[in-house]
């Protein structure tokens, strides 16, 4: 999603169901604080989401694996 709130009113976003759903959440979201320890979360979660989408891996199995890696880190 665009980092500029004014862009959220662009018809490319407002006329797209998926983008519009995310845009509506952006209005209520808080910026995640920068915490160095979160780096241990982003890698395993990125890997899990990629294997779900790219390799059609079972979502629960991929996310369970990511959680295990996060706890190990």
Mean pLDDT of 24-37: 78
Give me the pLDDT at residue 32, please: 73
What percent of the chain has pLDDT above 70?
96
Q: Please, where are the H alpha helices in the chain?
A: 11-14, 17-26, 39-54, 59-72
Q: What separation in angstroms does the CA of 10 have from each of 13, 19, 40, 62?
A: 6, 11, 35, 35
Give me the pLDDT at residue 2, please: 53
Position 11 pLDDT exceeds 80: yes
Over residues 48-72, the pLDDT tens digits come to: 999 999 999 999 999 999 999 999 9
């Amino acid at each position: 999603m665009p980092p500029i709130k004014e862009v959220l009113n662009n018809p490319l976003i407002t006329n797209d169901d998926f983008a519009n759903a995310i845009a509506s959440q952006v209005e209520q979201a808080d910026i995640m604080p920068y915490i160095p320890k979160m780096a241990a979360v982003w890698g395993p979660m990125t890997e899990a989401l990629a294997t779900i989408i790219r390799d059609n891996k079972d979502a629960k199995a991929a996310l369970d694996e990511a959680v295990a890696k996060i706890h190990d880190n």
